Amino acid sequence: MSSSLFPSISSLPAGTVVSALMAIQMKNLDALVAVQKMAMEGLGALARQQQEMLAARLTQAAALPDTLTEADPRIVLARPFDAVKTAILDGTAQANLLGELAARSGAEVAGLLQERFLSALDEAKAALLQAVPATRD
Amino acid sequence: MRLRTLLLALVLSLMQAGKASAADRLGRYPVDPAQVSVAGISSGAFMANQLHIAHSADIMGAGLVAGGLYGCAVLRADDSGITALASLATGACMRAPARLLPAATYAARIRRFAALGWIDPVETLGRSRLYAFTGRSDTVVHPETVRRAVAVYGLLGLPTAATSFSDGALAAGHGWVTQSYGMACGDTRPPYINDCDYDQAQQVLQTLYGPLEAAATQPSGRLIAFDQTEFAPGGDAAGHGLWHTGQLYLPAACEAAGANCRLHMLMHGCQQSAQVMGDRFYRNIGINEWADTNRIVVLYPQARSVSVADFRRPRPTDLFQVNPEGCWNWWGYAYDSRYLFKDGVQVRALWEMVQRVTGRANR
C-alpha cells in the first residue's frame, strides 16, 4: 500500500505540476515561519507577564509594614486576612491570564496551520486537476 | 388535496413565527437628538461606558450600575489596535482589583484612541453627566472597578458636580436596584434585580435629565418589539452576540409626531437578556414608569449567548471567542478586536439603533 496521498502523481506530465507543487511547498514553508514567529511572540508575552507579576508582588510586600502603624487594633487584626484573600484572588487571576495567553497562543498557531493546510489542499487539487485532461464521452 | 395544502400553509406559518424576523423594523420617533443618554447594569454598564466614550459628541451622559471601566480587559494597546483577554475581564475587572491599572493609564489610552479617530474627541466628555453605583455587598464586580471608571471620567474633564456616585452607600449585592421589586437587597442571584428601597431608575434619569415629574403608577405606553438582525453584519446576529429581537418602550406622550421626547438606551447585564428571562428585566426595573411621565423613549437592546456552534467556519481559536452568559461585548468576544470603538460590531449596531430612532444621519 502506498503511503503517498497522491500515488499516481508520477504518471502526470512534469513541468506545470512540479512548479505548482513547488509553489505550494514554498507557501507551506512561509506558514511554518509565521507559526514559529507567533509561538515566540506568545512566549514573549508570557515572559513579560511574569516580570509584571514579580514587580507587583514586590510592591505589595513593600507596602506591608504600614500595618504596624495602624491605630485601630481591629484593623491591624483584619488586615493580614484581607491581604491573604487578596493574594489568593490576585494569584488566581494571574494564573488564569497566563493560562489564557498560553492557550490562545497555541490555538492561534493551530489556526494558522489549519488555514495553510486547507489552502494547500485546494491548491494541490487545482494543480492536479489542471494537469489531467478532462475525459470526453 | 385541499387538506394537504392547508397543512402545508400551517407548517410554513409556524416556521415563520419562530424566525428572528418576526419583529417589526425599528422605527423613527419624535426624539431630540441632543437628549440621548445610555445606561446599563454589569456588562451593560461596561457597554454603556463604551458607547458613551465612543460617541461622546452625541451622547449626553451615562449611567453605570455595578460595572463600567473603558478598556478594562485590554492587555495591550498600540496604534495598530488592541489585545483583550477574557481572563482580564473576569480577573482584574471583576474580582482582583489589585491588578487594575492606574486610572491615568486608562485615560491616556482613551486620549490615544481619540487621536487615532477611533472614538469621538475626549473634550466633549467634559460636558457629560454621569451616574455611577456600586453596592457594598457586590461580590461580582468589585467596587474598585466602578471607582476607577468614575476617576477616568474625572481625568478626562468631567466635573464632580456633573457626577452622582453612590459608592457603597447601600449594602446591595450585584444587580439593578429597585424600590420594591426583586430579591433581597444584598443578594447576588437571578434575576439580579434587588429590592433595596432605592429607586435607581429615578436616580439614573434624574442625574442625566435633571428634575423629573413623578413616576406613573401604571405605565400607559407600550412596548414595541423590533428586529435586531438588520443591525448585525450580514444579518448574523447570533454570531455577534445579538438577540434577534430588541424592545422599545414608547410613552403615550411620544406617539404624536410633533412630540419633543428624549431617548434613553438601557442595557441589561449577563444572564438578564430576553433570551434568558423573557420580559422580566425591561418590565420590572422601574424605568418605564419614569419614562412614561417624562417623555422618555427607552431602547432595550438585547444581547445573547455565543457558543462555538454560532461561528460559521470552525477554527481552533473559537473556544476563546464565546459568550456563554449572554453578556454585552466588553472583552472582544466573537472575533471583534474593535469592540471598544465606533466600528466595533455591537457599538456600531447600538449606535445605528439610536440613529434610526432619532432620524439623525451617520457621522
DSSP B24-49: BPP----EEEEEEEEEEETHHHHHHH
Residue A20 confidence class, pLDDT cut points 50, 70, 90: confident
Cβ separation A97–B320 shorter than 8 A: no
Cβ separation B99–A103 shorter than 8 A: no
Q: CA dihedral defined by B50, B24, B237, B43, rounded to 10 degrees?
A: 30
- Phi and psi torsions of A124, nearest 5°: -65, -40
Residue A64 confidence class, pLDDT cut points 50, 70, 90: low
Mean pLDDT is lowest, of A72-81, A121-130, B21-30, B80-89, for: A72-81
> Is residue B252 within 8 Å of B292, Cβ to Cβ?
yes
Dist. CA B250–CA B268, nearest whole Å: 18
Report the gap between the CA of A111 and the closest CA in chain B (Å): 5
pLDDT at position A48 is 74
Residue B346 CB neighbour total at 10 angstroms: 25
Q: Which of B99, B311, B319, B321 to mutate to test the interface with A (most CBs of A within 10 A)?
A: B99
Cβ separation A60–B96 shorter than 8 A: no
Residue B16 confidence class, pLDDT cut points 50, 70, 90: very low
Report the gap between the CA of B314 and the closest CA in chain A (Å): 10
Segment B343-348 shows an average pLDDT of 98
User: Chain B neighbours among A 2-31 (CB < 8 Å)?
Assistant: none
Segment B197-222 shows an average pLDDT of 97
Highest mean pLDDT range out of A85-89, A104-108, B279-283?
B279-283
Residue B5 confidence class, pLDDT cut points 50, 70, 90: low
| Half-sphere exposure in the Cβ direction for B112 (13 Å, CA) | 16
Does residue B17 register a pLDDT over 50?
no
pLDDT at position B26 is 97
What does the DSSP 8-state code read for residue B221? Answer: S
Q: Residues of chain B whose C-beta is under 8 A from some C-beta in A?
A: 75, 85-88, 90-92, 95-96, 98-99, 315-317, 319-320
pLDDT at position A75 is 81
What phi-psi label fits residue B178: left (phi over 0), alpha (psi between -120 and 50 degrees) or beta? beta
Report the gap between the CA of B318 and the closest CA in chain A (Å): 9
Cβ separation B317–A104 shorter than 8 A: yes
Q: CA dihedral defined by B177, B178, B181, B187, rounded to 10 degrees?
A: 20
Residue A44 confidence class, pLDDT cut points 50, 70, 90: confident
Cβ separation A92–B96 shorter than 8 A: yes
pLDDT at position A135 is 76
Does residue A54 register a pLDDT over 70?
no
CA nearest to B149, candidates B158, B138, B139, B140: B158
* Nearest CB neighbour to B317, from listed A56, A96, A111: A111
Cβ separation A90–B88 shorter than 8 A: no
User: Chain B neighbours among A 111-130 (CB < 8 Å)?
Assistant: 111, 114
**Residue found by looking up cell 461596561 in the block:** B46
* Nearest CB neighbour to B320, from listed A60, A107, A114: A107
Question: Which chain A residues are within 8 Å of B96, Cβ to Cβ?
Answer: 86, 89-90, 92-94
Question: Which chain A residues are within 8 Å of B90, Cβ to Cβ?
Answer: 93, 96
Highest mean pLDDT range out of A7-16, A34-43, A78-87?
A78-87
Alpha helices in B55-186 (DSSP H): 86-90, 103-115, 143-155
Q: Which of A41, A86, A89, A108 to mutate to test the interface with B (most CBs of B within 10 A)?
A: A89
- Mean pLDDT score of chain A, rounded to an integer? 76
Q: How does pLDDT run across B310-325, given as a tens digit for each residue?
A: 998 899 999 999 999 9
Question: Which chain B residues are within 8 Å of A110, Cβ to Cβ?
Answer: 316-317
Cβ separation B96–A89 shorter than 8 A: yes
**ipTM value:** 0.75
Active site residues of B: 42, 138, 174
Residue B63 confidence class, pLDDT cut points 50, 70, 90: very high
- Mean pLDDT score of chain B, rounded to an integer? 93
What's CA B89's distance to the chain center, in Å? 17
Dist. CA B221–CA B251, nearest whole Å: 4
Question: Which chain A residues are within 8 Å of B87, Cβ to Cβ?
Answer: 93, 96-97, 99-100
Cβ separation B96–A114 shorter than 8 A: no
Segment B109-124 shows an average pLDDT of 97
Q: Which chain A residue lies closest to B93 (C-alpha atoms)?
A: A93
* Nearest CB neighbour to B90, from listed A60, A96, A110: A96
Q: For chain B, which residues make up each domain, given as ranges?
A: 27-357
Residue with more model confidence, B4 or A110: A110
Residue B1 confidence class, pLDDT cut points 50, 70, 90: very low
Cβ separation B90–A107 shorter than 8 A: no
Q: How does pLDDT run across B229-281, given as a tens digit for each residue?
A: 999 999 999 999 999 999 999 999 999 988 999 999 999 999 999 999 999 99
Cβ separation B91–A93 shorter than 8 A: yes
What's CA B195's distance to the chain center, in Å? 21
Question: Which H helix or E strand runs over B163?
Answer: strand B163-167
Q: Which chain B residue lies closest to A88 (C-alpha atoms)?
A: B96
Report the gap between the CA of B90 and the closest CA in chain A (Å): 8
Report the gap between the CA of B116 and the closest CA in chain A (Å): 25
Q: Which chain A residue lies closest to B74 (C-alpha atoms)?
A: A97
Q: CA dihedral defined by A114, A116, A121, A126, rounded to 10 degrees?
A: 150
Task: Specify the pairing of strand B31-41 against strand B61-65.
Answer: parallel
**Residue found by looking up cell 418589539 in the block:** B225
Which residues have CB under 8 Å from A13's CB, separation 6+?
A: A131
Mean pLDDT is lowest, of A95-104, B105-114, B144-153, B331-340, for: A95-104
